Structure 1
Amino acid sequence: MAPSEIIQAKKRRTRKDYAYHLDYRTRWSDNDMYGHLNNSNYAFLIDSIVNTYLITHCGLNPFNNSSSSSTGSTTSNHIGLVVSSYCDYFASVSFPDVLDLGLRVVKLGSTSVTYEVGVFKRGEESVKAVGGFTHVFVGKEGMKPAKGGMDERIRKGLEKLVVEDSREAKL
Structure 2
Amino acid sequence: MTSDYAHWETVPTRWKDNDVYGHVNNVVHYSLMDTVINEWMIRTAGFDPLTSDSIALCVESHCEYKAEVSFPDTIRVGLRIGRLGRSSVRWEIGLVRGSDGALIAEGHFVHVFVGRDTRRPVQIAGPVRTAMEKLETP
Question: 1:92 maps to what in 2?
Answer: 68
Structure 1: segments with no counterpart, 5+ residues: 1-13, 65-75, 165-171
- Write the distance in 1 (CA, Å) between the matches of 2:121 and 2:130: 18
CA contact (8 A) 1:78 1:151 kept: no
- Write the distance in 2 (CA, Å) between the matches of 1:157 and 1:124: 31
Deviation at 1:115, TM superposition (A): 0.6
Deviations 1:67-94 (A, max 9, x none): xxxxxxxxx4221100000000110001
**Greater Rg by CA:** 1
> Percent same amino acid at aligned positions?
40
CA contact (8 A) 2:73 2:99 kept: no
Question: 3-state SS of the aligned residue for 2:42?
Answer: helix
- Write the distance in 2 (CA, Å) between the matches of 1:78 and 1:59: 13
Query: TM-score scaled by structure 1?
Result: 0.77
- Equivalent residue letter for 2:124: M
- Write the distance in 1 (CA, Å) between the matches of 2:37 and 2:113: 13
- Write the distance in 2 (CA, Å) between the matches of 1:25 and 1:39: 15
- Write the distance in 1 (CA, Å) between the matches of 2:130 and 2:99: 32
- Write the distance in 1 (CA, Å) between the matches of 2:124 and 2:115: 9
Question: 2:40 maps to what in 1?
Answer: 53
- Write the distance in 1 (CA, Å) between the matches of 2:112 and 2:91: 11
Deviation at 1:23, TM superposition (A): 1.1
Deviation at 1:48, TM superposition (A): 0.5
Question: 3-state SS of the aligned residue for 2:38?
Answer: helix
Q: 2:127 aligns with which of 153, 157, 160?
A: 153
Give the superposed CA RMSD.
1.1
Point out the structure with the larger strand share: 2
Paired residues, number? 138
Question: 2:14 maps to what in 1?
Answer: 27
Asked if 1:37 corresponds to 2:37, the answer is no
Query: TM-score scaled by structure 2?
Result: 0.95
